[in-house]
């Protein structure tokens, strides 16, 4: 029933079909047709029908950054809208910057010679290398805090005009998955702060589309699938399915996700905000229809530059038919006795050939008929 309905809607929406009184297979002279007539070739190709689903274009993740130091006075905060990248200051405490580094491992201890090996050390060394501080090439990215690590920190501190100590006290850096954009200030400069005080609200700079997918369509979507995203002004841009939630969730009502608060850059900072941005995991929600959370990345992010928190449409592939005959949708004619046909142009005559419509793909439709061959010309209704 769904396929029959989709067929009727596609035909009605795509073309104003001429109702033909002649029986299928009848012939008339070319002069019998009314109005200007264009023709197009019958082709053999691959067609794919698509389902349109609704989604929201938004930032991939959001975080609340909290102070991790034991105490201090907030000196300065960046303004909302500021984009902060690796090595840049997130905020200033007692006049000293707390800098952003990339990673998901929590910054939970002083990083100094004598530390036990750990993933946080490897994460730090990876950032030092990315920033260009390698103790003249001797830094090795591993879990061990050695003298080359301390020397690389010295180089980094020297480059920023700071005190060269070769160590990073807890809270002097914050690890987050990538660059961030400031959305709100949560504290007032000049205020004494205690550990755990919220300082900034941040979002990722990466845009994604979050789709609450109807569970009946779940079998149509796989990670890595290509999709088309229709932006608010009608333009389309390609995307790729990156994540699919493992459980059915509810789409309406208040919703929450775990985490969303980053204590100086902990792994919790990688969790999505209450809007579910970028983290399609199971959520507990009261009321509303069930859905499967799907995250789609934009293959061309610049196409959506300046957009955020806007509704979009995502076209996902429903059915693929390969090596089929296809004609422009405008070539379909509705027969008076039911069914459809195309008018094959043969110069002085036109022959109606009954066809069975199949998959619709853009402005083309699959047509099944033993009497059609690739290269034949069919009449197409003029706009």
Q: Is the dihedral of CA 213, 229, 9, 7 positive or negative?
A: negative
The total domain count for the chain is 3
37: containing domain: 2-50+319-381
Using CA atoms in the order 294, 298, 301, 304, what is the torsion angle rounded to 10 degrees? -60
Give residue 257's pLDDT: 36
Tell whether 237 and 328 lie within a shared domain: no
Question: What digits encode the pLDDT tens for the residues 56-102?
Answer: 999 998 899 999 888 899 999 999 999 999 999 999 999 999 999 99
Cβ pair 199, 76 in contact under 8 A: no
Same-domain pairing of 96 and 179: yes
Contacts of 362 (CB under 8 A, 6+ apart): none
pLDDT tens for residues 196-230? 999 999 999 999 999 999 999 999 999 999 999 99
Q: What is the CATH number of the domain that holds 136?
A: 1.10.101.10
pLDDT of 276 higher than 70: no
The answer on 186 and 73 residing in a single domain is yes
Regarding whether 239 and 134 lie in a shared domain, the answer is: no
pLDDT for res 383: 61
pLDDT at 228: 94
Residues 190 and 79 in one domain: yes
pLDDT confidence tier of residue 252, bands split at 50, 70 and 90? very low
Specify the pTM: 0.65
Checking if the pLDDT of 170 tops 50, the result is: yes
Looking up tokens 């029908």, which residue turns up? 49
The rounded percent of the chain whose pLDDT value lies above 70 is: 79
In a shared domain, residues 186 and 141: yes
Q: What is the pLDDT of residues 172-199, one digit of tens each?
A: 999 999 999 999 999 999 999 999 999 9
235 and 304 both lie in a single domain:
yes
Give 125's pLDDT tier (boundaries 50, 70, 90). Answer: very high
The position carrying tokens 């005080």 is 197
Distance CA 325, CA 342 (A): 12
């Amino acid at each position: 029933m769904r396929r029959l309905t989709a067929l009727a809607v596609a035909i009605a929406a795509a073309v104003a079909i001429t109702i033909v009184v002649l029986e299928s297979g009848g012939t008339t002279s070319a002069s019998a047709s009314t109005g200007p007539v264009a023709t197009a070739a019958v082709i053999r190709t691959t067609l794919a029908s698509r389902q349109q689903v609704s989604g929201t274009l938004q930032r991939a993740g959001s975080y609340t950054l909290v102070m991790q130091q034991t105490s201090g006075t907030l000196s300065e905060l960046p303004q909302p809208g500021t984009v902060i990248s690796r090595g840049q200051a997130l905020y200033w405490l007692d006049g000293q910057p707390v800098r952003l580094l990339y990673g998901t491992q929590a910054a939970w201890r002083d990083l100094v010679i004598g530390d036990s090996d750990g993933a946080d050390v490897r994460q730090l060394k990876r950032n030092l290398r990315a920033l260009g501080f390698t103790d003249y090439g001797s830094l090795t990215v591993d879990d061990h805090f050695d003298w080359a690590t301390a020397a690389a920190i010295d180089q980094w501190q020297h480059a920023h005009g700071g005190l060269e100590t070769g160590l990073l006290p807890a809270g002097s850096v914050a690890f987050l998955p990538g660059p961030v954009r400031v959305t709100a200030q949560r504290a007032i400069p000049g205020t004494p702060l205690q550990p755990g005080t919220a300082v900034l609200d941040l979002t990722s700079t990466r845009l994604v589309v979050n789709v609450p997918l109807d569970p009946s369509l779940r079998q149509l979507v796989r990670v890595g699938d290509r999709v088309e995203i229709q932006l608010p002004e009608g333009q389309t841009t390609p995307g790729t399915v990156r994540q699919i939630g493992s459980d059915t969730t509810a789409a309406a009502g208040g919703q929450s996700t775990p985490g969303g608060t980053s204590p100086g850059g902990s792994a919790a900072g990688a969790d999505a905000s209450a809007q579910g941005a970028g983290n399609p995991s199971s959520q507990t929600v009261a009321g509303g229809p069930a859905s499967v959370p799907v995250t789609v990345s934009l293959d061309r992010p610049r196409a959506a530059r300046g957009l955020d928190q806007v509704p979009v449409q995502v076209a996902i592939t429903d059915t693929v038919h390969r090596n089929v005959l296809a004609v422009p949708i405008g070539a379909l004619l509705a027969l008076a006795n039911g069914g459809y046909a195309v008018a094959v142009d043969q110069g002085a005559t036109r022959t109606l050939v009954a066809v069975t419509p199949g998959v619709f793909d853009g402005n083309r439709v699959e047509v099944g008929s033993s009497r059609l061959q690739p290269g034949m010309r069919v009449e197409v209704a003029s706009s």
